[in-house]
Amino acid sequence: MAQIINADTGETINVDDNSMIKEACAKIGVPFNCENGICGTCIVKVVEGKENMGELNDSETDMGLDGEYRLACQCKIKKGKVKLKY
């Protein structure tokens, strides 16, 4: 089991290892629009646990993101805890 944590409120959502984080992020309040890696509305800052995140995908690298910032509609968590701000 892995965990998505809202860095501001401490709210924690349990997710499966190697799963998309979109639903958990919606639960902690991250806003979404296109849900398709285009608009950038769902950009989150990974404040802890960057190493627990999956690889950047093409939408994220096209947007110039480097792993400190991720698109919540596109990325996966591998395992462990990840703390996010949005």
Quote the strand ranges of 1-86, DSSP E.
Answer: 2-6, 12-15, 19-20, 43-48, 69-71, 76-77, 80-85
Residue 11 has a CB neighbour count (10 Å cut-off) of 13
Which tokens hold the place of 50? 């960057």
Residue 35 binds to ligand FES (criterion: CB under 6 A) = yes
Q: Which of 13, 20, 39, 47 is the binder for ligand FES (CB under 6 A)?
A: 39
Q: Which of 40, 54, 67, 80 is the binder for ligand FES (CB under 6 A)?
A: 40
Q: Interface residues for ligand FES in 2-31 (CB under 6 A)? A: none
Residues that bind ligand FES (CB under 6 A): 32-35, 37-42, 71, 73
